[in-house]
């Protein structure tokens, strides 16, 4: 016996499933500090800052504006103070160095980049702001990272660059810069 409504029901269910999977495929998947960012918030950020944010898992330090891929080193500087994602955690960069900045244990490549600016990078817990000022957690500033980069250059210090997916961060010893895709920034000159 043939039931024509069965074919109609099957077609409706198939069409609904295809539309649902198509909508899921168009959704973005970006997490910042382990919190998924909504498509609407991503669209707003991309419009406001004229950048394309690739799907992926990122960490973001709102105090200094540094960001990177989850379990990786810093790959860029963004606008500091954005209220996006979750709280920055100690393990965001994979750690293993004993050097913490704004609660994040630095990746070994972050520490290597710091050693090109100043040879002494001691394990400890530090804070750093977007103007380059930093110090021990809970204490006043005692260094300026941008000034240290300039001093390294004036002493014939080395420049450095760290390339990441979609961009790179580096210094000529007097300026620290980020270059990538549709965005670039120079800070600390």
Looking at per-residue pLDDT, the higher value among 154 and 95 belongs to 95
If you compute the radius of gyration of the chain from its CA atoms, what whole number of angstroms results?
22
Residues in the chain: 189
Q: Which residues contact 82 (CB under 8 A, 6 or more apart)?
A: 45, 60, 62
Sign of CA dihedral 20, 22, 23, 27: positive
pLDDT at 56 over 90: yes
For residue range 98-134, list pLDDT tens digits in order: 999 999 999 999 999 898 888 889 999 999 999 999 9
Per-residue pLDDT for 164 more than 80? no
* Residue 35, C-beta contacts closer than 8 angstroms, at least 6 positions apart: 85, 86
pLDDT for the residue numbered 174:
53
Q: Output the pLDDT for position 49.
A: 87
Domain ranges of the chain: 26-187
The DSSP call for residue 20 is: H
In which order are the strands placed within the sheet that holds 35-36? Answer: 35-36, 30-32, 56-60, 66-69, 74-77
State the pTM of this model.
0.71
17 or 37: which leads in pLDDT = 37
Rounded to 5 degrees, φ, ψ at 64 are -105, -20
Residue 23 dihedral angles phi and psi, to the nearest 5°: -65, -40
CA distance 175 to 172: 6
- Residues 158 and 42: their CA atoms lie apart, in Å, by 37
- Phi and psi torsions of 49, nearest 5°: -105, 5
CA dihedral 137→164→114→77, nearest 10 degrees, is: -50
Distance CA 63, CA 67 (A): 11
Over residues 144-170, the mean pLDDT reads 65
How would you write 159-177 as a 3-class SS string? CEEEEECCEEEEECCCCEE
The answer on pLDDT for 96 being more than 50 is yes
Instruction: Give the whole-number percent of the chain exceeding pLDDT 70.
Output: 68
């Amino acid at each position: 016996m043939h039931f024509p409504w069965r074919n109609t029901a099957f077609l409706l269910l198939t069409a609904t499933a295809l539309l649902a999977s198509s909508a899921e495929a168009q959704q973005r998947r970006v997490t910042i500090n382990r919190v998924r960012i909504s498509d609407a918030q991503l669209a707003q950020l991309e419009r406001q800052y004229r950048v394309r944010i690739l799907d992926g898992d990122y960490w973001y330090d709102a105090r200094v504006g540094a960001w990177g891929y989850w379990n990786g080193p810093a790959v860029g500087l963004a606008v500091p103070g954005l209220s996006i994602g979750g709280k920055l955690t100690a393990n965001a960069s994979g750690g293993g160095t004993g050097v913490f900045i704004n609660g994040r244990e630095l990746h070994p490549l972050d520490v290597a980049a710091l050693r090109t600016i100043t040879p002494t990078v001691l394990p400890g817990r530090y804070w750093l702001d977007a103007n380059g000022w930093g110090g021990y957690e809970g204490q006043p500033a005692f260094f300026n990272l941008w000034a240290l980069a300039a001093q390294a250059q004036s002493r014939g210090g080395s420049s450095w660059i760290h390339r990441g997916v979609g961009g790179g961060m580096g210094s000529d010893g007097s300026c620290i810069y980020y270059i990538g895709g549709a965005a670039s920034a120079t800070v600390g000159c």
